[in-house]
Each structure stands twice: as C-alpha cells, then as structure tokens.
Amino acid sequence: MKFAIVTHAEFRKTDGGLICLINLARNLYERGHDSKLYVPPEVHIGYEKNDIFPYYIKKEEMEDERVAIYIDCTLGNPLEAKKVVRYISYGSHWYPNYEPNEITYYHAPFCKNNVAKQRLISMYWPPGMENKGLPRIRERCYIIKKGWRNPIVQKMFNETPTSEIKGLLLEGYDHEQLIEIFNTTKYFYCYDPACFLGIMALMCGCIVIQYPVLGYTREEWMHAVSFSSLNGVAYGHENLAHAEATIDKAPADCLRFKEECDATIDKFVNDLESGNYTQDPCYPFNDSPYSLQHLDKTSPKMVMLYKLLMKPVTKENFFGKLI
C-alpha cells in the first residue's frame, strides 16, 4: 500500500504526537509499504534533524491510491486524498470539523466511555531505554506538559516560588538525557494525563506517581491511556506501596505493551487491505478531560468543575507534596 503521513508541527523530538506520526511512517515502511512523510510548508522547520524516518513526498506527487493519514488537529484534506485516515493521537475537540467518510483510528480511548475498537499505536521507543542499575541519587523529577491545561495544576505552580519546588523539571531534555535521569531518580511525578515519559520511567526502574484525572478512578485512567497494569505506578498516592513493591515487574509489562502496539499496526494495514474497517464518525469527546477542551470550555459541567478546582490550594492538600 501507499501512505502519506502528514505532519502538523515543526520538528521537535519531545513532541509526542509528532514523533508518533513519524514513527508510524517508519513502521509502515519497514513492513514493505510505500510510506512517506508530507511536511506542510508552514511547519517545515527543524526536519533536517529528523533521524527517525527520512523519506518525504511533495503534494504534486500525491497519487489517487495513496492513503493520507492526518493527526487530530490537521483539519480538512490538504492533500486532497481519495482515502483519509484520521489518527486520534489525543482526545480531540476538532471532531465536528472532520470530513465525512474518514476512517478513524485511535492511539488510545482517551475517555472512560470510549471503546475505540479501531486502534493504531505507534510509539517511538528510544534506544537504550532500560534499567542500567545505577545509584538513584535524585529523589524526584516531574513533568507538567498537557497537565498545564488543568487549572488546579496551573494554580499550584503559579502560586509557588520556583525555589520551593522540589524535583527536576523534565523540560528540554532529549531522550538520551531522560534515560539517564530516569536511571538515577527514584520517583517520577507526572502531571500530564497521557505521557510517554511514564513508559520511559518504568523501563528505567523509576517509580511513576501519576496526578489523578478529575472524575477518573485509577481503573478508568488505565483504560483511557491503555496502561496494561499499575506495576510501578501510583495513581495519586493511593497505591504508592504497591508501586514501590512492583517496580521490578514494570519493564516486562511495558515490553508486552510494545508487542501489543506493534500488533495494532499489522491489524491496521490488514484492515485497509481487506476493507475490514468502519467509517464511523470520531468519538465526540465533549466533556472528557482527555479532550483538548479539558476544563477551559464553557459547558455548564466544565464551568462547575472549574469553580471546584479553583478553591484555595494548600501545601497539605497538594498532591504528593511536591511543593
């Protein structure tokens, strides 16, 4: 088959959605397909550093039989493809603007109510991602990223002097540096509800403490992000003792998950070749915290939740006492 995977952002190896797209192009190419990247002119910066997959296509080279794969935020059909796959890399609030007759695949359900039968999980696994048995000289590190859209997280960090925040903020580090950090740190505090750094930490033997998602139990969160187990993971501090006791089992769980991810790519190709797919509209992520809407929209439910979240935050009720 022929594929054109369309990027949506300037190249940065820390952009999870973009790297998933580029890695998908590589995965399809490695399976013997004519797979190429299309980089729109407005986001062309930085692609000379793309060492994951180097093959590109121009718009004028687009053939009728080539399937276009667009991420959540690429609206319309810029390549004017005859067949379009919509790849939902994170809960989307653009779904009302998608074209009819698109074939929708989900990286994960991204909502406790979404079944997401058509799955496509293409995550880039950096080389050397393993527990190297190094001394854990650092107590904690943390990431915010998409968690910043949660107003309570904004409030906690905005109102706390930087000098009082304990832990290393993992912004701006490349994969090699992150692997080194996770190998020498005991706890990884993750405020992002869906972040590959959690997998990286577990593979390196670093315990993950996940900031809870409003209205989601730990089982619902596991479903929403496709985690197969909570070995090595504390959802809040509810099961920290369990996470500490099971961190040695976490890498094996992650490797099984990687095998499951690879299987979704094979099934995706088989679906397209056999016609065994649906063109059901994208799941409407109305009030899911996994939608890019998060808590900043104006639906009555979101306004109510926002007001609840903006109650005063104290050091005593701050998750994990990171501050």
Domain ranges in the chain are 2-124+260-274, 138-255
Task: Write the burial class of residue 115 (CB in 10 Å: 0-12 exposed, 13-18 middle, 19+ buried).
Answer: exposed
Please write the tens of the pLDDT for every residue from 254-291: 999 999 999 999 999 999 999 999 999 999 988 787 87
Give the CA-trace dihedral at 170, 155, 187, 257, to 10 degrees.
Answer: -80
SS3 175: helix
pTM of the model: 0.88
Please write the tens of the pLDDT for every residue from 6-27: 999 999 988 889 999 999 999 9
Residue 292 has a pLDDT of 64
- Whether residue 299 is predicted with pLDDT greater than 50 in this model: the reply is no
Please write the tens of the pLDDT for every residue from 24-50: 999 999 999 999 999 999 999 999 999
Please write the tens of the pLDDT for every residue from 194-205: 999 999 999 999
Architecture, CATH, for domain 2-124+260-274: 3-Layer(aba) Sandwich (3.40)
CA distance 233 to 210: 7
Q: Average pLDDT, whole number, for the chain?
A: 89
- Whether residue 151 is predicted with pLDDT greater than 90 in this model: the reply is no
Would you list the DSSP string of 67-129? EEEEETT--S-TT--SSEEEEESSB-S-GGGSPTT-EEEESS--STT----SB-------TT-
